[in-house]
Structure 1
Amino acid sequence: MLKPDSESPPNEITVNIAMAGLLWRDRTGRSVSDEEIIGLVSKFGECGVFPSVVRLTQLITKLCRTGKSDRAWDVIHNVMKLGGDVQAPSCNALLAGLGRQQNFQKMNKLLAEMKENGIQPDIITFGILVNHLCKFRRVDEALEVFEKMSGERESDDGFSVKPDTILYNTLIDGLCKVGRQEQGLGLLEKMKLEQGCAPTTATYNCLIDGFCKSGEIGRAHELFDQMNKEGVPPNVITLNTLVDGMCKHGRINSAMEFFNEMQGKGLKGNAVTYTALINAFCNANNIDKAMQLFNEMSKAECSPDAIVYYTLISGLTQAGKLDDASFVATVMKKAGFCLDIMSYNILIGGFCSKNKLDEAYEMLKEMEQAGVKPDGITYNTLISYFSENGDFMTAHRVMREMISDRLVPTVVTYGALIHAYCLVGKLDEAMKIFRDMSSGLRVPPNTVIYNILVDALCKNRKVEVALSLMDDMKDKGVRPNTNTFNAMLKGLKEINWLEKAFELMDQMTEHACNPDYITMEILTDWLSAVGETEKLRSFVQGYEVSASTA
């Protein structure tokens, strides 16, 4: 049929039958590649026949969904070049694909080519463009497109499309997500003036969310009252947005009052509502109220989801109520949910902090049986526990297990061991681990590690070794802080090395390390005793000494 001298050349019906069969997802028989289909469209085009708008749109959508937007671009342009009928739906499918790839240059080019070829864009065309610009926070460009399409800005595009509610909502949401909710309010007022374009619940939800995120809870409530006056019904998303906003800005009691009020009016909360409230009460250490809400959920025919359980387990563990946390974990498993690695780590950490090693091991065993592999946090928790309790042999064994599990020890891992060795006065072992950090597995020590060692060395009158560590910090580009200098100054005071102390005071100034009340306590006592108060005065000049701890 496709031969130049064929007695039965293909027509539009032929194309559409072939395309329908080839594009059917569950086709049986020989698998046909995308390239073969593209080639067939090209051959049909050479015969002067083309797929219908529906079939061409299906092909473009298929190519874009599989990440072949460049080939989709070629197909559309080939059809245009051969004189085929390309309409807005096919271009829209390509615009959506280009939008997912953030290829805004080609999106604008396609829009310009639509004008050149007399293809009239529709509201969906502009909706796709505005949606993707907003999604990637290019809100000013989205506003420009909106103003051009609605005729508010002079343009040579020659397009004029009346915006609909969805387009307004997309723009308002985009503005609110970048903290420009006041502009969003302006669009709301403009929207009300458009005929047949009334604000919806989604419109108000976007604005309420924007004001809640910026901490303007009062403005969010005003909008809530306004939507009620205008007869726009709030939904569970409205409820959740306000409850979450109030909880995150410390207005937990107001959130509870609002929640109870809405329930009284028939607007029931869901798992998201309860999670926000439970999380807020856990953070405020009001575990009893969090448990009360958890128990209310089942009575309200609102099944807790995994996040509710995770939130409660975390809150109970942090409050030291490990039995309750274990009970909630058991209830969670009975409800068909599995503990995640974060929950296991929280529970293991809780048991370790309470010296309940058997329970921690039981949890570790259960975790492995459930197919959840320990991660770096699991191992660091155990290493820290054994190190703090002086069981260095077990701590090193756990560290070897960590490495055999192909997990690289971090600065936290080494820090736990170094700190524990320093606490029991085993400075040689601490220094050995410090050297291993930098050489063997190449974990660069940070300021905290250096501070632990400098402090321990100075307390043991090994001031010169501590000073060499400060030189090492400089060589490795690790910035000392006020705690580093305080530890060093204490050590120098013990051996009355005044010249070196003056050098360190100059270094503090160079590094812009503000002296705190500890620095001042050390220097005032020492420099006053040796008659160097003028040196102290010039050092303090220009600094604001922090007395917050005092």
Structure 2
Amino acid sequence: MSVMFQAVFDLASREPGKLFEVYSKAVEWNVGLGVNSVTHLIRCFSRANLIDKSMLVFSELDTQMKNVHVRNVVIDELLRNRRLDDALQVLDDMLEPNSEVLPDENTMDIVFPALFRGKVYGRWVSDDEFVEIVARFVRRGVFPNSITLTKWISGFCRSKRTNVAWNVLHTVMELGGPVEVASCNALLTGLNKAREFDKMNSLMKTMQDKGIVPNVVTLGISINHLCKAMRVDEALNLFEKLRRGEISADIKPDVVLYNTLIDGLCKLGRVEEGLSMMRRMSSESECSPSTITFNCLIDGFCKAGDIDKALELFDEMEKEDVERSIVTVNVLVSGLCRHGRAGGALKLYREMQEKGFDGNAVTYTTLISGFCGVNNVRKAMDLLGEMKGKCPTDAIVYYTLISGFSQAGLMDEVESVVTEMKNAGFRPDIGCYNVMINGFCQKNKLEKAHQLLKDMDTDGLKPDSFTYNTLISYFSKIGDLKTSHEILSQMMKDKIVPTVVTFGVLINAFCSAGQLQNAMKIFKEIKHSTRVPPNTVIYNTLIDCHCRNNMVKGALSLFGEMLGKDVKPNTNTFNALFKALRDEKQLGKALELMDKMTEQGCSPDYITLEVLTQWLPAVGETEKLRLFVEGHTVSSSSMEC
């Protein structure tokens, strides 16, 4: 009879209204439906958007019929119909300690893909809720397999929720669930990216305690973590232990481990050690240097200024039949351009073009920037034209040209590039506007700078601290201090926090104009109305101005305040005070200041010695001068301390 009703259910499911009638007849005639008929009926109602009927069928079943398979079907259909809370209620009954129906792996496979999405059918499944459900499954003896657990951990780490990944893994561990190295590696990778190094160390210790044997991936993550934390020597020690078989006889260093160490050494400027590591890779292991190996070293030598060595390695790649990628070419082109060898960079690129290489946007942008840096505007524009025929031109290329031309003072060319950029569908950003405003101010073309401010407003951009600093600096240099101060007021009105540069420019301008009182007024504003701490440059400017105005007492007071606020004086600070004390014939104060200079570890320069050697012997303090000089290394720069 049950089989017959299942066939009838199949036919009736095409007309949902009749389906419930058939079910009602089965109940009325006391037909005992089997598990297959029940699950089929529940699915039919659900797919006909009659999930409440499915729940009615489930609720009317005898207890012995509500086995794990039936419950899994109910949970699955509830989730399909966006009834999360109802699904969790059915699950909750299965997870209760006294439940006679235990969940199985299928239950886990149905529930967790939905929960893992976070926001399920209009409501958030909290991280704590997710972890608690995992724990309840594990307590009932249902464990996620390695692939599933690793997938969860990787997903949480990708969404920057390493704390959830940590809690899930440790919940499974602490409740006795099986955990394999792959799941630990996934969490180590996430913690490394999040720079949670203490947790990485803790997890490594837990792995050791639990007998989870690390593999080459684990060690690669650990070495990468140490290199990121600039603890390369510790990474090298770990690598040596691995190489000697002290960690595991079965794990051998691979090319990824070598590359990680070489990259770490190069980033710390230890390029020769990186090169030695590559030589060892070739001679002592079964690994061969890859394109990435050479890219790390070429980049390292370029940044260290040894372009010739970088070129040697580039040639070696061809001899050793190691593929030279566009990244390799771009790294070397960038290095050559950074060191003023734009012509050499272009020559290299042309040679690679002959071998079938086509540059990308990075190649051309770097070359354009390089030629802008050496004021070769024509070549930069030629390269822009060439780029248009080979690869898409992006906003960065135009920004590079605008920046280069502005710094070279070629503002007519800047306007031409801006027009071309707008025709290509790009708009200047705030950084681009700032560079142009600064360029026009340098050329005393205030009307052009003013027009750019209007254009910014039209584009919906607001001036930032750099914009205001540029304008304040310009008006200060031309002596229009009233306008400079008005711009500062507008800046603060617009809730743009002035920087130490803002105040430094204004204070210097007022001091240069002999308006010490106004300079001190701004200085007091810094201390009492803003969170910008005065720096050494600002204190030096005010101390020097006090000294030039024969106000030594005020200068010494500022010096004392400077020390009290842990602002480090430099040689300029002491030189201004020594000159003023000499002019005021305040020998005692000068001797105290010499002791203070020694205490601060600040080296005198030739100006210091010129002032003191002209003064101290004439007043009988030759021995003090000798001891002072012997206690210091004489600096040629008045900025050194």
TM-score bracket for this pair, using the shorter chain length? 0.7 to 0.9
Q: Is the 8 A contact 1:458 1:488 kept in 2?
A: yes
Q: Counterpart of 1:376? A: 465
Residues 423-479 of structure 1 show CA distances to partners (whole Å, capped at 9, x for unaligned) of 4444444444444444444755445445545555666xx41x244223322233266
Secondary structure of residue in 1 paired with 2:586 = helix
Structure 1 segment 481-496 matched on structure 2, within 5 A: 483=572
Q: Conserved in 2, the CA contact under 8 Å of 1:98 and 1:106? A: no
Which residue does the alignment assign to 2:299? 209
1:165 to 244, 255, 274: 255
Offset at 1:401? 0.8
- Do structure 1's residue 95 and structure 2's residue 184 form an aligned pair? no
Compute the TM-score of the two structures, normalised by the length of structure 2. Answer: 0.72
Alignment of 1:202-281 (within 5 A): 202-281=292-371
Change (3 A) 1:134 1:417: closer
Find the residue that maps to 2:111 and give its secondary structure.
helix
Aligned partner (choices 123, 135, 142) of residue 42 of structure 1: 135
State which of 529, 535, 560 in structure 2 corresponds to 1:474: 560
Q: Deviations over 1:262-293 (max 9, x none)?
A: 22222232232333333333333344433333
SS of residue in 1 equivalent to 2:133: helix
SS in 1 for 2:179: coil
* CA gap 1:30/1:473 in 2 versus in 1, 3 angstroms: closer
Match of 1:294 among 381, 384, 388: 384
- Match of 1:283? 373
Is the CA contact (8 Å cut-off) linking 2:303 and 2:335 kept in structure 1? yes
Q: Structure 1 residues 368, 106: closer, same or farther in 2, change over 3 A?
A: same
* 3-state SS in 2 of match to 1:56: helix
CA 1:432 to 1:55, structure 2 compared with 1: closer, same or farther past 3 Å?
closer
1:404 deviates by 0.8
Please say which of residues 209-218 and 426-435 is displaced more in the overlay: 426-435
Query: Do the aligned partners of residues 289 and 74 (structure 1) sit closer, same or farther apart at CA in structure 2, a change above 3 Å counting?
Result: closer
Residues 335, 12 of structure 1: CA spacing in aligned structure 2 closer, same or farther, 3 A cutoff?
Answer: same
Maintained 8 Å contact 2:266/2:297: yes
Measured after TM superposition, the shift of residue 245 of structure 1 is 2.0
Partner amino acid, structure 1, of 2:110: I
C-alpha spacing 1:138/1:336, structure 2 compared with 1 (3 Å): farther
Percentage of identical aligned residues: 47
State the partner residue of 1:9.
102
- Shift in Å at residue 398 of structure 1? 1.4
Greater mean alpha carbon deviation, residues 335-344 or residues 353-362:
335-344
Question: Match for 2:111: what amino acid?
Answer: A
Query: What amino acid is the match of 1:499?
Result: K
- Find 2:206's aligned residue among 110, 130, 133: 110
Query: Amino acid of the residue matched to residue 17 of structure 1?
Result: I
- Note the 1:29-428 alignment, pairs <5 A: 31-66=124-159, 68-80=161-173, 82-99=175-192, 100=194, 101-102=196-197, 103-114=199-210, 116=211, 119-150=212-243, 152-155=244-247, 158=248, 160-192=250-282, 197-299=287-389, 301-428=390-517
Larger radius of gyration: 2
CA RMSD for the aligned pairs? Answer: 3.7
User: Can you list the C-alpha shifts for 1:311-332, whole angstroms capped at 9, x where unaligned?
Assistant: 3222212222112112222323
Deviation string for 1:134-183 (max 9, x for gaps)?
Answer: 33233333334444445x1434xx56223433333223222322233334
Answer yes or no: is 1:507 the counterpart of 2:593.
yes
1:394 maps to amino acid: T
**What's the offset of the Cα at 1:126?**
3.0
What is the one-letter code of the residue matched to 1:88? V
- Looking at structure 2, the residues matched to 166 and 547 of structure 1 have their Cα atoms a distance apart, in angstroms, of 46
Structure 2 residues not aligned, in runs of 5+: 1-67, 69-93
The answer to which structure, 1 or 2, has the higher relative contact order (CA under 8 A, 6+ apart) is 1
Contact 1:121 1:159 in 2 (8 A): no
Partners of 1:485 and 1:195 lie apart in 2 by 59
Q: 1:140 to 1:499 in 2, by over 3 A?
A: closer
Structure 1 spans left out of the alignment, 5+ residues: none
For 1:510-525, what aligned pairs fall within 5 Å after superposition?
510-511=596-597, 512=602, 514-516=604-606, 520=610
Against the structure 1 CA distance between its residues 17 and 277, is the aligned structure 2 distance closer, same or farther, given a 3 Å change threshold? same
TM-score, normalising length from structure 1?
0.82
Tell me the SS of whatever aligns to 2:409: coil
Aligned length: 531
- Counterpart residue identity of residue 290, structure 2: T
What is the deviation of 1:403? 0.9
Q: Secondary structure at the match of 2:224?
A: helix
Taking the aligned partners of 1:179 and 1:481, their CA distance within structure 2 comes to: 29
CA contact (8 A) 1:451 1:484 kept: yes
Conserved? CA contact 1:179–1:210, under 8 Å: yes
